[in-house]
Amino acid sequence: MNAANILKFFVKKKIINTNKKEVIEISKLIGSDVILGLNSTNSILTAKNEIKFFKIRKKFFTLIVKPNFGCSTKDIYAKVRTFNKPKINQPEKKMFDLNYLKKMNNTLEKIALSKYPKLRSIKSYLESLSNQVFVRMTGSGSAFVAYFQSKKRCVHAKKMFSKKYKNYWCIVSKTI
């Protein structure tokens, strides 16, 4: 998303002068998922690098937390023994079902939680907060996202988290 936003900025400010087709080609050179950031629509990148658009969207309020330390992506990936097959080969409406979303997981999370025990306590605390729907670690860590169905509950969770983890960054956001 960062690369996509920088690319959009360069095009908008005419720092690079290009057409839409060239922007798509540039985004592919940067990374296969950059194209998703160029469109602010509900889209999924398929296993075949095709974009599928959906009108359905789930509205969540999120508490994003980042401890005062990071995880080494290189170290996390070095511990991966087998890569899971993508669960979303053919994107479909059921992906937006709450129970389906709850069952999804981040396979890197188990490795990060064992390598960085503080992350385990952060996740446990977030999961203990009342009314959270589910909690996921981002990528290879160290940030977590707790999902809520109400802004009031999410804001309350932020207050509780900030009280317990004073030196950790956190913010309330919402899905778009």
Q: How far apart are CA 41 and CA 163, in angstroms?
A: 36
Q: How confident is the model at residue 119 (pLDDT cuts 50, 70, 90)?
A: very high
Q: CATH 3.30.70.890 region(s) of the chain?
A: 61-174
More confident residue, 167 or 87: 167
Question: In this structure, which CATH number among 3.90.226.10, 3.30.70.890, 3.40.605.10, 3.40.50.1820 belongs to the domain 61-174?
Answer: 3.30.70.890
Decide if 64 contacts 45 (C-beta within 8 A): no
Decide if 137 contacts 127 (C-beta within 8 A): no
Residue with tokens 């950031």: 37
Q: What pLDDT, on a 0 to 100 scale, did the predictor assign at position 60? A: 93
Q: What pLDDT, on a 0 to 100 scale, did the predictor assign at position 160? A: 97
Q: How far apart are CA 167 and CA 161, in angstroms?
A: 10
Provide CB contacts within 8 A for 151, sequence distance 6+: 61, 172, 174
Q: Is the pLDDT of residue 40 over 70?
A: no
pTM (two decimals) = 0.76
Q: Is the pLDDT of residue 163 over 90?
A: yes
Nearest Cα neighbor of 138 from 153, 155, 151, 126 is 126
Q: Is the pLDDT of residue 91 over 80?
A: no
More confident residue, 74 or 58: 74
